[in-house]
A and B are shown apart, each in its own frame.
Chain A
């Protein structure tokens, strides 16, 4: 196996330590900002981290074009991306699990059901419903309650349905782009990838509109009890991932259009981004079913 003997081990690199400093400033700055300090540290850190990652990816691309990357090294990137996506799946699992626990156990018990239903004594008058329009606080304390439920929730069969169609379509278009890339048809690849990016942007636009509607018209906010909590945390983290995925695909598009990167048999940067895109798509299907449809 000749490839094993030519596994490229990079020489010393300044990238990781600068990435560390960027990450540290981002995390420290975020904590400082949230605790009432200034936001400068956070933005400095985030900018630095983004710049270092830019250079890092550029270095990897340069190495690949210089022919340093053996097939074996490329497999390492494949494994790396695959396991990274698995870690993301587990992150979402924590929040889906929280939704499941609240609906299946916590709320019925608070409502007086089952063997742990005695907690209803603390929240007299509370009834378990989903979506939870009246929180235990509101049920027990009426006007003096601090945590109130929403006035209304998002109807799954309008914007969310459109968003489902948009995102499912975008998964197909990114796949079509991949097929054309493998055939070596760059223009078709660029077109279909461009359509995917536009669909991603459209999804995000509708998501923002949905949030705007929720906050201004429905009284549905992060603070409106466990319904608002799970709704915004799940859809919010998903939206953040769609944003990242769209940026990734956009960069892939620019690489192809401007720099003519990617060959029919060598395009893992694009492939990894498309895997990520399929992943956010699958998460959305879960959200549509468990948060929107079964939640209304």
Chain B
């Protein structure tokens, strides 16, 4: 237990250390973020002008599909798991994750799964081209042969997620230092506890729905075929029963990160801690009973439309509680605006915009106009980019000095923030307008009147992409060296992770700390 890390590459292959595994998750996630980002840039380059310039429609469809799958399963989810690996044991005073070898397994499945997914790009008939939501019958009767590989890559990604989630739950429930009662846990730990529960509840449903696809494609079953008595709409129900909790899987840990950062830089304790916990739990509960708001136009009975509309609007209540608490935490605080805080504040503002456009989409009669337009694209990118991505970025800047022992370059961090902030708004804000004007999503060509806003969006996308290179450079430089960080790093931050030296020793809390 007292040893440091092994030397050489085998350290990373065989490691059981939560910090090593956390770092691997984070680097893997960043690589996938760049890969998925390049695909987004292919999309934006093609959409810079109306007409077909750069890619063929078939390839465009493969890009939208792979971009979505890679960003959801390869970039956002692994990044949060990486942060969980690094921070949860340190935050609750545990020596490591509860099941360290399974932890390594959960990680190493991912590069293999994504290699398999990416390899479909080079197969006969091309990669999956039916959108990341892979609706039947597009993904069954009309799908390329590579779909089989896509299905099995989803299976093993799911296995990885379930094992990761089980590990996190076991760690949180079993490994807390004496005195670390549930209601003393940092919110990041709380949000991850609830996220892990959601993961275990819905990843098997995803496995179920891709299995149904596999059987329909290759073994003659009729799940999604009306000829045999099945229903393509069944696919959408099962998929979104997974899919809606999935979007909260991608945002709840973000709530936890922001709830750690804002109090530090507002120099005030978090306002309404227990209401934050209850709000998170309420959001998780509601996430199971709102799925059909993704399918208002598919043809549902009116009772269904009404139920899912009102249930969806209810989510605004606990989410509003959260936004209120973050704003109130900042209210009359002595705020400073270091890079993590800038990202956190941008999170609060821009995520709220995404939440409001979500409220618009929740209104079933209005959704008939918005459905499948760029307004939807604008909405979910506003919750995912400044929501998930900004919070992850904020978390990385916030904890990087603790991980590496070095301070990042603040000026470069601010440059990164402003480039990313401007880039993302320039990219996604105009999409609201073209969407409301009726531009459909997932189309490589568009009517002339949408050209101006699309050009603006494309410029913004490349700016946002360039900003990430600044981020990469800054992080690499910090890992290599730089001004030494103090143990506390910031002005009086709260949490056990700040009581250990910077960089955090390879093994922390081999004996549990005292918790007040």
Main secondary structure of the interface of B (DSSP, over half): helix
Counting chain B residues whose Cβ lies within 8 A of the other chain, the interface size class is 35 or more
> B450-492: which residues lie under 8 A (CB-CB) from chain A?
none
Measured between beta carbons, the chain B residues less than 8 angstroms from A110 are 226, 229, 231
- The answer to whether the Cβ of B46 comes within 8 Å of any Cβ in the partner chain is no
Q: How far is the CA of A238 from the CA of B510 in the complex (A)?
A: 43
Q: How far is the CA of A94 from the CA of B200 in the complex (A)?
A: 13
Write out, one digit per residue, whether chain B residues 92-120 have a CB within 8 A of any chain A CB (1) or not (0). 00111011111011001100110010000
- The answer to whether the Cβ of B23 comes within 8 Å of any Cβ in the partner chain is no
Shortest distance between the CB of B23 and any CB in chain A (Å): 15
Q: Give which listed residue, A73, A88, A222, contacts B221 with CB less than 8 A.
A: A222
Stretch in B212-220, B262-270, B326-334, B362-370 touching the partner: B212-220
Stretch in B71-79, B150-158, B395-403, B441-449 touching the partner: B150-158
With contacts A1-B178, A115-B302 taken as known, whether A137 is within 8 angstroms of B227 at the C-beta atoms is: yes
Whether A34 lies near B148 (C-beta < 8 A) is: yes
Shortest distance between the CB of B413 and any CB in chain A (Å): 34
With contacts A75-B174, A90-B200 taken as known, whether A9 is within 8 angstroms of B226 at the C-beta atoms is: no
Q: How far is the CA of A7 from the CA of B13 in the complex (A)?
A: 23
Whether A15 lies near B205 (C-beta < 8 A) is: no
Measured between beta carbons, the chain B residues less than 8 angstroms from A5 are 510-512
Closest to A101 in B: B234
Whether A23 lies near B159 (C-beta < 8 A) is: yes
- The answer to whether the Cβ of A185 comes within 8 Å of any Cβ in the partner chain is no
With contacts A34-B214, A84-B166, A137-B227 taken as known, whether A1 is within 8 angstroms of B512 at the C-beta atoms is: yes
Shortest distance between the CB of B69 and any CB in chain A (Å): 16
Whether A86 lies near B200 (C-beta < 8 A) is: yes
- The answer to whether the Cβ of A107 comes within 8 Å of any Cβ in the partner chain is yes
Whether B511 lies near A10 (C-beta < 8 A) is: no
Q: How far is the CA of A95 from the CA of B219 in the complex (A)?
A: 16
Measured between beta carbons, the chain A residues less than 8 angstroms from B211 are 233
- The answer to whether the Cβ of B241 comes within 8 Å of any Cβ in the partner chain is yes
- The answer to whether the Cβ of B282 comes within 8 Å of any Cβ in the partner chain is no
Closest to A223 in B: B220
Whether B209 lies near A94 (C-beta < 8 A) is: yes
Whether A79 lies near B170 (C-beta < 8 A) is: yes
- The answer to whether the Cβ of B357 comes within 8 Å of any Cβ in the partner chain is no
Whether A83 lies near B166 (C-beta < 8 A) is: yes
Shortest distance between the CB of A174 and any CB in chain B (Å): 24
Whether A116 lies near B299 (C-beta < 8 A) is: yes
Whether A91 lies near B208 (C-beta < 8 A) is: yes
- The answer to whether the Cβ of B414 comes within 8 Å of any Cβ in the partner chain is no
Measured between beta carbons, the chain A residues less than 8 angstroms from B227 are 135-137, 145-147
Whether A136 lies near B201 (C-beta < 8 A) is: no
Q: How far is the CA of A31 from the CA of B99 in the complex (A)?
A: 30
A: which residues have CB within 8 A of B?
A: 1, 4-5, 7, 9-17, 19-21, 23-24, 27-28, 30-31, 34-35, 56, 72-73, 75-77, 79-80, 83-84, 86-88, 90-91, 93-95, 97-98, 101-102, 105-107, 110, 114-116, 119, 122-123, 132, 135-137, 145-147, 149, 221-229, 232-233
10 contacts between A and B (CB under 8 A): A13-B16, A16-B14, A24-B113, A27-B113, A34-B218, A77-B99, A90-B205, A91-B207, A136-B226, A223-B220
7 smallest A-B Cβ distances: which pairs? A94-B208, A226-B229, A223-B220, A106-B231, A91-B204, A16-B105, A137-B227
